[in-house]
Amino acid sequence: MKKSFLIAADRSNSGKTTITLGILSALRERGLQTVGFKCGPDYIDTLHLTKASGNPAYNLDTVFESPDELKRTFAWGMRGADVGVVEGVMGYFDGIDYKTFKGSSYEVASILGLPVFLVLDVSGVSYSVASFVEGIVSLSRDASVCGVILNGVGSPYHEQMVRSSIEYHAGVKVFGALRKSELASLPSRHLGVYTAFETEDEFYKELARKIGLSVDLNGMLDLSWCDVGVVDSKDEQPKDKKAFVAFDEAFSFYYQHNLDFLEQLGFEIHFFSPLKDEDVCGADFVYLGGGYPELYAERLVHSKKTMQSILQHVNSNRPLLAECGGMVYLTKGLIKNNRFFNFCGVFDAVCEMTENRKALGYVLVKALDGQFSGIGHEFHYSRLKMVNEPYAFRIKKLTTQEEYGDGFIRNKTVASYTHFYFSLKNRDLINFLFGGVL
């Protein structure tokens, strides 16, 4: 019988990412087939979930997908797995709407019927933590909060105080407790934690060891369940086309759902590395995802073969999608620390790194020529400048309604700061790139 559950928290930075990775790693070491999921649009955590579980991790995003699409994505991800562990996003109820909690971990748990285990950082609090748990349980009307994992415990006595208060007042069992700084944290930079490329296997093994000693995984599994329904067969077309996907330390931000979608359209996926100066000759579609081109700019300027082949691909009127860091790579170059690094030059614009974050959140995207509209997500610390050609898109932030121009279209090449998810809400974009497949 398949099992699944969701790891949530009352706020960000409570330790849910490292605890989720530790749980996945520990269950995998027991010989179980595990798969990780991430609520929301995050593309960095999924790389870690993939490495911890040994299987591709999927995003579960209720802004990008309808409830039926979400269920199909979850069922597809669970095929062949014994246990699915879903990592929440931010705080349990945090989303884009205070009334419905749209886009939250709670909404995902409600739609999929997932049992929820809360990670609580209890440093600096004791008996009062019961009120947090009771409040969350009371508000979680359509999803079951089955247990709590304590993080940041100061001492055995502190653990006893917190555990007793939660179990007595909130009626929720505590399944484990971790001491302050017991779990190593992933180092962070401007876009978030370091990627799985930069993380040694020993990190996940150590998390598994400590979680195995401190968390009652058997008890959690006993309270877990999984109702995936009928798995969508997702009949694939014959592999008669080639999709070249940039994948290395500089470009690695992708949704697994999008890669699966390409395969279902009949694309055979070839990963290539701009850092290794590999070309895209023979590609029917090129995908330049986001990442950290700014960290590897000194190496990317020498990727002459890659850049020349990309220019040829664009001019041949074959489709290309460039998102965020991928778009940066298609401009004339990048300004960083008062130095200029030459890139592809497909578009007559320059990108400049900034100290402060320039954008974060869901956006509505409308092509100014009316060819398509859609929805996506932005997160970047750079900006376009010296733009000598018209923007192709009008962007509207979903939360603040702020509007601005962004991105470019040339032939069948689409480039912008927006990360897109290949769901029905982006049908127009998909049909533009691939010729009316939806």
Cβ-count burial 425-434 (b if 16+ within 10 Å, e if not): bbbbbbebbb
Supply φ then ψ for residue 183, to 5 degrees: -95, 130
In angstroms, the CA 404 to CA 402 distance is 7
- 184 secondary structure, DSSP code: P
Question: Helices 67-78 and 256-264, interaxial angle, to 10°?
Answer: 90
Q: Which residues contact 400 (CB under 8 A, 6 or more apart)?
A: none
CB-count burial class (<10 Å; 0-12, 13-18, 19+) for 180: middle
In angstroms, the CA 138 to CA 118 distance is 14
* C-beta atoms surrounding 127 within 10 Å: 13
Q: Which contacts (CB < 8 Å, 24+ apart) does range 182-191 have?
A: 182/210, 182/214, 183/15, 183/18, 183/19, 183/22, 183/151, 183/207, 183/210, 183/211, 184/18, 185/15, 185/18, 186/17, 186/18, 186/48, 190/357, 190/381, 191/44, 191/292, 191/379, 191/380, 191/381
Per-position DSSP letters for 98-146, written without gaps between them: TTT-TTSHHHHHHHHT--EEEEEE-TT-STTHHHHHHHHHHH-TTS-EE
In angstroms, the CA 337 to CA 73 distance is 42
In angstroms, the CA 345 to CA 382 distance is 17
Selecting among 39, 226, 324, 344, the annotated active-site residue is: 324
Supply φ then ψ for residue 310, to 5 degrees: -65, -45
- How far does the chain reach from its first CA to its final CA, in angstroms? 35
Catalytic annotation present for 344: no
Provide the annotated active-site residues: 324
